[in-house]
Amino acid sequence: MFESLYAHLPGSVHRALERIGLVLARAAAGHLEKVAEFGGNPAGLGMKLYLPPRAPAPGGPLLVVLHGCGQDAAGFAAAAGWTALADRLGAPLVLPEQSARNNRSRCFNWFERQNIARDSGEATSIRQMVDHAADRCKCDRRRVFIAGLSAGGAMAAAMLAAYPDVFAAGAVVAALPVGSASNAHSAVARMADAGVHLTAEDWAERARALAPPGYGGRWPRISIWHGLADRVVDPANANNLLAQWATLHGLGGAPTLDLSPRAGVRRRVWRDGVEVWTIEGMAHGFPVAHASTEPFVLSAGIDAGTEIARFWGLGAGPGRVEPG
């Protein structure tokens, strides 16, 4: 009946309804755009900005997500649940994207000093994206968060170390600690075998070396995730990350919280500074609760993005948003 009625409407009404439908579809899906100009961009990285259907409120958070090797930034963000999370929070999502010119496998160069040092290379380009998005969307500069998978996770850790005054917290998934490699050869070696037996203080010093000279402020909180069946990045790297960041936060000893949310999943928390999630039987990738066909986004019965946001203080359960 409705189809017959629609068919008899004037063409001008058809066009008006189509325009309304297009607006509603865009509002329901949010808006992804490529940003060409956001600063000097010394590393020549690409920038995509996702704006959720609900216009970001002034003073809201800003999320930055770094993809893994060979991944499309927007495709990874959608498959891993970050786009849906941005929708629930009403928060803009910054998606830096590596190019084959910088790295043949399109990995962020987390192992090169010139690309992770403060105000240098890829680190600078990512920082400029943060500044651009925060200014444009009027975000709260005290509520900027960064997360990444694999090479993107290692780069996220480096950004937390180089810019502890910029990021409130971060998440490192299936990745390595700051300073675990200094070139491509040692990066491959540390991925296969965490090796390097340093003290916790030595690991912390490798992170401090990237921070502003004499930095004495608060270090960003960090959520660390690793599958125990990972054959791409040695899970022992999660232990080194823990040693590094627990020391930066002045934390040590037994966790203040140690529980298993479900079979095979363990969560350990050191006060409000560091948390570590390990998942038995999970290979290399980002854990999600739903089925996934995206490479390195793995169905593990738990939504890492939601749990990470909750640790950050954003509380992003479906259908509810808690203040950060």
Active centre residues (catalytic): 150
123's tokens: 């680190």
Query: Are the beta carbons of 107 and 174 closer than 8 angstroms?
Result: no
Query: Are the beta carbons of 219 and 170 closer than 8 angstroms?
Result: no
283, 287, 290, 295: CA torsion to nearest 10: -60
Compute the distance between CA of residue 112 and CA of residue 121 in angstroms, rounded to an integer: 9
Q: Could you tell me which of 67, 49, 55 has the C-alpha nearest to residue 133?
A: 49
* 77 contact partners, CB below 8 Å, separation of at least 6: 50, 65, 67, 83, 93, 95
| Ramachandran category for residue 50: left, alpha or beta (phi over 0 → left; psi -120 to 50 → alpha) | beta
57's tokens: 């409120």
Letter for the amino acid at 268? Answer: R
Residue 78 CB coordination number (10 Å): 16
